[in-house]
Amino acid sequence: VLLALMLSSQTKDQVTSAAMLRLRRRGLTVDSVLQMDEESLGQIIYPVGFWRNKVKYIKQTTAILKEKYGGDIPSTVEELVQLPGVGPKMAHLAMHIAWDSVAGIAVDTHVHRISNRLQWVKKETKSPEQTRVALEQWLPRDLWKEINWLLVGFGQQTCLPVNPRCSQCLNQDICPAAKRL
């Protein structure tokens, strides 16, 4: 789960999925990743975005997982974000998927953009982390785990960063951004 999340950053889902499939074919364990040299790992995960950096992060993180966590992943957001290449969004998603624990809202670029367009934040936020804090202040906790899944697909298909498809959007009558665009 953690490795898939690390690979997914700045990468299309299909590319991430193909890279994970190649990794699984090699025997995806902490030890197998540690035994791979960086060049081999790079060949396996290419063409994920920023693959050279991700190779370094994966090797460093895997070593930490083996040494400090007995080959498992940490069970808190605070520990997860200490791992190389893991940010708050990944940490919150990992908590939900791996530990079935909702510690916060996983806010990526889509959730950030759409929350601002819909004015779900009191004042415009400049970063996904600011958006996370603002959303958590008012959104009922029982909705935290599903907001990312709902808005990511919506942001990929309809509420695009450039040229959003407002005329096709079911929210156009209530969306402040649709009136401006």
What span, in angstroms and rounded, lies between the C-alpha atoms of 158 and 110?
11
Asked, for residue 104, whether it belongs to a domain, the answer is no
Per-residue pLDDT of 6-34, as tens digits, reads: 999 999 999 999 999 999 999 899 999 99
Active-site residue, selected from the candidate residues 66, 89, 123, 126: 89
Q: Residue 59 is part of a domain; what is its CATH number?
A: 1.10.340.30
How far is the CA of 156 from the CAs of 166, 167, 170, in angstroms?
A: 13, 16, 15
- Please indicate, yes or no, whether residues 5 and 86 belong to a single structural domain of this protein: yes
Asked, for residue 126, whether it belongs to a domain, the answer is yes
- Please indicate, yes or no, whether residues 176 and 88 belong to a single structural domain of this protein: no
- The dihedral over CA atoms of 80, 83, 86, 88, expressed in degrees to the nearest 10, equals 40
- Please indicate, yes or no, whether residues 71 and 114 belong to a single structural domain of this protein: no
Q: Residue 143 is part of a domain; what is its CATH number?
A: 1.10.1670.10
Q: How many domains does the chain have?
A: 2
Mean pLDDT of the chain: 96
- Please indicate, yes or no, whether residues 95 and 113 belong to a single structural domain of this protein: no
Domain that holds residue 2: 1-99
Per-residue pLDDT of 101-125, as tens digits, reads: 999 999 999 999 999 999 999 999 9
Give catalytic status of residue 89 as yes or no: yes
- Please indicate, yes or no, whether residues 80 and 138 belong to a single structural domain of this protein: no
Please report the pLDDT score of residue 180 as a whole number. Answer: 72
Does the pLDDT of residue 49 top 80, yes or no? yes
Does the pLDDT of residue 46 top 80, yes or no? yes
181: confidence class by pLDDT, cuts 50, 70, 90: low
- Please indicate, yes or no, whether residues 2 and 86 belong to a single structural domain of this protein: yes
